[in-house]
Structure 1
Amino acid sequence: MLAVVKIAGQQFKVQTGDSLYVPHIAGKTGDKVEFSDVLLVDNDGVLTAGKDVTAVVTAEIVNDLVKGDKVIAFKMKRRKGFRKKTGHRTQYTQIKIESIA
């Protein structure tokens, strides 16, 4: 069984047993999370999409805070002595899909 789920404004294609990184979700390691915003379900070749979908995806939080790679924004104006360096690391949550029901 395959499903396309909308999590924090992003779409993810998931199957039972998949482990993926999603934008940070409030919760601790071991908590159960349900995603009811399912856009598409493929059940052995039978596609269900749109308002007909009544499936709910259940997942467990494996790691509650994972930091992504550092992204650096560097601004400089030549011959002016202006240099500005800023950066950030996006926070993710690692989840494991338990069931699509």
Structure 2
Amino acid sequence: MNFELNEGRSVVYAIVRNGGRQHKVAVGDVLDIDLVSEEVGGTVTLQPLLLVDGDKITSDANGLGKVSVTAEVVGETKGPKIRILKYKNKTGYKKRQGHRQRYTQVKVTDIKA
């Protein structure tokens, strides 16, 4: 099978790790990562695990040492509300708790190989 996905253009993307999760990113993508202490407009460096540059794939530690993925902080956002309920029968014990995870929105500005 021959698939022409990029229609003659060079496709560059990276798989980066953040907070125990992996994200596929390309230049211009906006994604939510775990909260960082960087101000809006600041830059964040993401750790690459894989780089795809057209037909060239880099996944070894030596090659990835030269790769940098930088992103600009766009703002903060919150995840969905999670409600936790605990209940014990016949004792009258009820406990209710909630949580909303905070995230930092970043826009990928550059992938350097």
Same fold, judged at TM 0.5 (above): yes
Unaligned runs of 5+ in 1: none
Q: What is the total number of aligned residue pairs between the two structures? A: 99
Look up the match of 1:68.
79
Please identify which structure carries the higher strand content.
1
1:17-66 Cα shifts (integer Å, max 9, x gaps): 0001111111111111122x211000002111021222100100000x21
C-alpha RMSD of the superposition = 1.0
- Find runs of 4+ consecutive structure 1 residues off by over 3 angstroms: none
Look up the match of 1:34.
45
Q: TM-score, normalised by structure 2?
A: 0.82
Look up the match of 1:58.
70
Structure 2: distance between partners of 1:21 and 1:50? 26
Q: Which one of 92, 96, 103 corresponds to residue 81 of structure 1?
A: 92
Unaligned runs of 5+ in 2: 1-11
AA in 2 matched with 1:26: S
Identity of counterpart residues, as a percentage? 34
Q: TM-score, normalised by structure 1?
A: 0.92
Find the residue that maps to 1:13 and give its secondary structure.
strand
Structure 2: distance between partners of 1:69 and 1:9? 19
